Structure 1
Amino acid sequence: MMKYTIYMLRHGQTWFNRYNKMQGWSDSPLTPAGEEVARQAAQRLSNVAFAAAFSSDARRAIDTCKIITDANINKEHLHPTKLINFREQFYGYFEGMNSTEAWYMTLKPHGLTSFQEAAKKVGLDKAKDYMKAADPFHDAENAAEYWERINTGFEYLDGIAHENDKILLVSHGTTIQSISMKYGDGTFVVNAGPANSSLTTVVRNQGQTIVTDYARKLVD
């Protein structure tokens, strides 16, 4: 076991982001603005000597990862790889719906009215459980299902990483927020989700996870 650092970046803005739609395992392309903020983030990270680069298997993450790696000092040695464990949360029946409406339907029976309120008052794991219960097909992920695949992803990275490696991982808003809420080092508050193309720093040390920086903006 060793210590290494994961540079966890949220993908650039997509059309579903722009239209405030639930975008878990469903996908939509990056907008022109999303591509531009990814390019700006790539320049800010260009001198970070990444040892490896990963993204979820969503097109929005794959495309953002390529933009980042194409500008990196180690680009000749980087071969971006899909890692499905770090997909976004699966919203089941609610995929593609208006986000505000979907979360209202999910949370109102529990005395909550928004995703932001749930994050502050009950935490994201409870919100995941509420969504699975509200899904008429019960296909949405609950907290146990979600963390099983995320933790398997961390274990995979443990198996390929070397001491002091810096690894790029392009993932998603709720996933980054969930990891940061669960494994934050206590120096920051995790209520709002990370901005597109913002950076969260995750240290894996002897199989333990600690988030040392959350949602740092790389672009103005």
Structure 2
Amino acid sequence: MLLHIFAVRHGQTYFNRYNRLQGWSNSPLTEQGLKDAERAGHKLKGVDFQAAYCSDTTRAQVTAERILSMNQASDPKPPLQTAMNFREQFYGYFEGQDMGMTWWAAGAPHGAKTYNDIVDKFGLAATRDFLKDADPFHDAESDQEYWQRVEEGFALIAGNTDLHDGGKVLLVWHGNSLLSLMHRFAGSAYDLSERPANGSVTSFDFDTQAAFAQAITLTSYNQ
């Protein structure tokens, strides 16, 4: 069964505005964030969704509810299903801290001073593993822990008996999660130097019967 996923990054929050890490912590949408959600709603108002998912964070739920309220093609509109599996990665001790200072703390012991520097020298997986090492409590998710949780989330979608081949699914997700998906499945086909914008849409096909490592085919990014 092949599903068409429309993944939206939630609207801008105050932590986004203040350049602070926001994984499992949560801050409200700004006025701009509500406009981001409306912009995504306009883009997707003509898509006939058979299912809708988001993380169980308020910022994702508010964005998803705004998108569904504007949708004109789904009849009936699917109920919004929330799951912690679709949360952003957990930053542990560094939740809510300044992003620049955090990535310096994670990368400096390895000769990398920024997030992009870590990615360029060691790959995106290292950003999670280095941060877990730098966390004095080691609560931040490792790359393996993160992907295990996310894969369980996609298993929830695959197990939805209301979905059929060719079905369209709304997924309101998070910036680093979308960027991680792109790095894992898109290769060099897209310019990943720019993070997905708040309210942007990334589309991909999800083969529910394939092993997860081969299940995702990207069709657009950061639209």
Structures share a fold, TM > 0.5? yes
1:167 aligned counterpart, secondary structure:
strand
Do 1:185 and 1:212's aligned partners in 2 also have CA atoms closer than 8 Å?
A: no
1:215 aligned counterpart, secondary structure:
coil
1:186 deviates by 4.3
1:84 deviates by 1.4
Partner of 1:176: 178
Partner of 2:201: 199
Query: What CA deviation, in whole Å up to 9, does each residue of 1:66-110 have, x standing for no partner?
Result: 010001121642211102111101000000111111111111111
The code of the aligned residue for 2:172 comes to V
TM-score by length of 2: 0.92
1:44 deviates by 1.3
1:128 deviates by 0.4
Question: CA, structure 1 residues 137+45, in 2 after alignment: closer, same or farther (shift >3 Å)?
Answer: same
Do 2:49 and 2:77's aligned partners in 1 also have CA atoms closer than 8 Å?
A: no
Q: How does 1:203-218 map to 2 (within 5 A)?
A: 203-205=205-207, 206-207=209-210, 208-216=215-223
Do 2:8 and 2:40's aligned partners in 1 also have CA atoms closer than 8 Å?
A: no
Distance in 1, matches of 2:83 and 2:186, equals 22
Distance in 1, matches of 2:200 and 2:118, equals 22
1:120 deviates by 2.8
Q: Which moved more, 1:74-83 or 1:196-205?
A: 74-83
The code of the aligned residue for 1:24 comes to G
Partner of 1:32: 31
Do 1:69 and 1:75's aligned partners in 2 also have CA atoms closer than 8 Å?
A: no
The code of the aligned residue for 2:133 comes to A
- Which sections of structure 2, spanning at least 5 residues, go unmatched? none
Q: Which moved more, 1:124-133 or 1:72-81?
A: 72-81
Partner of 2:136: 136
1:121 deviates by 2.8
Do 2:202 and 2:220's aligned partners in 1 also have CA atoms closer than 8 Å?
A: yes
Partner of 1:111: 111
- Which sections of structure 1, spanning at least 5 residues, go unmatched? none
Partner of 2:54: 55
Distance in 2, matches of 1:121 and 1:65, equals 36
Question: CA, structure 1 residues 69+137, in 2 after alignment: closer, same or farther (shift >3 Å)?
Answer: same
Distance in 2, matches of 1:75 and 1:93, equals 44
1:185 deviates by 5.9
Distance in 2, matches of 1:75 and 1:25, equals 33
Q: Which moved more, 1:125-134 or 1:183-192?
A: 183-192
**Structure 1 outlier segments of 4+, above 6 Å:** none
The code of the aligned residue for 1:64 comes to T
Distance in 1, matches of 2:36 and 2:216, equals 28
The code of the aligned residue for 1:203 comes to D
1:210 aligned counterpart, secondary structure:
strand
The code of the aligned residue for 1:63 comes to V
Partner of 1:92: 92
Distance in 1, matches of 2:174 and 2:41, equals 17
1:22 deviates by 0.8
TM-score by length of 1: 0.94
Do 1:119 and 1:191's aligned partners in 2 also have CA atoms closer than 8 Å?
A: no
What is the total number of aligned residue pairs between the two structures?
215
Do 1:201 and 1:212's aligned partners in 2 also have CA atoms closer than 8 Å?
A: yes
